[in-house]
Amino acid sequence: MAKERQTHDTESRILQAAEREFLTKGFAGARTTSIAEAAGVTHAMLHYYFRTKEKLFDRIISEKIELIKNLIFEAAIDSGLSIQEKIRMVMDRHLEFIADNPDLPRFIVGEVFNSPDRTGILLEKIKTYAPAMVAELQRQLDEAADKGVIRKVDAAMLIIDIASLNIFSYMVSPLINAVLDNCMQGNPEQFLERRKRENFDTIMRKLTPAGS
C-alpha cells in the first residue's frame, strides 16, 4: 500500500507540473526537463512513468475532457430538473470549470491554430460523446418548446452561445482587469457569481417565448 501511495503521489506531482508547463508554454514550448524539476523527480523517472511528452500531454487533456463531459452530461440527463434548471446547472458547472482552469481556453485555441495534427486527435476524443450530447439536448429543448416553456432553438447554436459567454472573460482576463479596475483578480469569487447570474439571464432572454 505504501508503495502504491508513493507511486500515485509521484504521478500526481508530475501531472500537476506538466499541466502548468503545457498550459503556460503550449505543447511546443513545454520541456520535460522543466516538468521533472518542478515535480521534484529525475528526468529518467518522468520518462519511466509517462514514456514520452506526447503521452503526458494526452493524459492531461484526456482527463480534462472527461471531467467536463461528466460535469455537463450528469446535469443534462437529470430528469428531475426543469429545462431552465438544467441549463443553469450546466452553465454554472461549465463556468466553474473555466474559472478553475483559466489558462485552458487560451491553450486550446493556441493548439488548434498552431498544431492541427495534434488537435485532430483531441477533437476525435470529443467527437466520441459530443454528437450524442447535442442530440439529447436538442430533444429536451424541442420537448420544452412544444410545451410552450421556451421558444424553439437550435441546440448547437445554444451551446456556442453558452460557451462564448462563459469562456470570453477568462480568455481575455488581463484586458478585462486592466480596463475594468481589476474586477476579476480583485475578487474572483464575487466575479464568478456575478457572471453566473449575468450569463444565465442572457440565455434565458434568448429562450423566452415571443410575447411572454
Residue 212 DSSP label: -
Over the range 38-52, which residues count as b (16 or more CB within 10 Å of their CB) and which as e? ebebeeeebbebbee
pTM: 0.85
Where residue 181 falls (left for φ over 0; alpha for ψ -120 to 50; beta otherwise) is: left
Distance of CA 100 to the CA centre of its chain: 9
Please give the chain's pLDDT, 212 residues, in tens. Answer: 555 566 778 999 999 999 999 999 988 899 999 999 999 999 999 999 999 999 998 898 888 888 888 887 777 766 678 999 999 999 999 999 999 998 888 888 888 888 777 777 777 877 888 888 889 889 999 999 999 999 999 999 999 999 999 999 998 888 888 888 888 877 889 999 999 999 999 999 999 997 66
Distance between CA 54 and CA 121 in Å, rounded?
Answer: 11
For residue 206, which amino acid is it? K
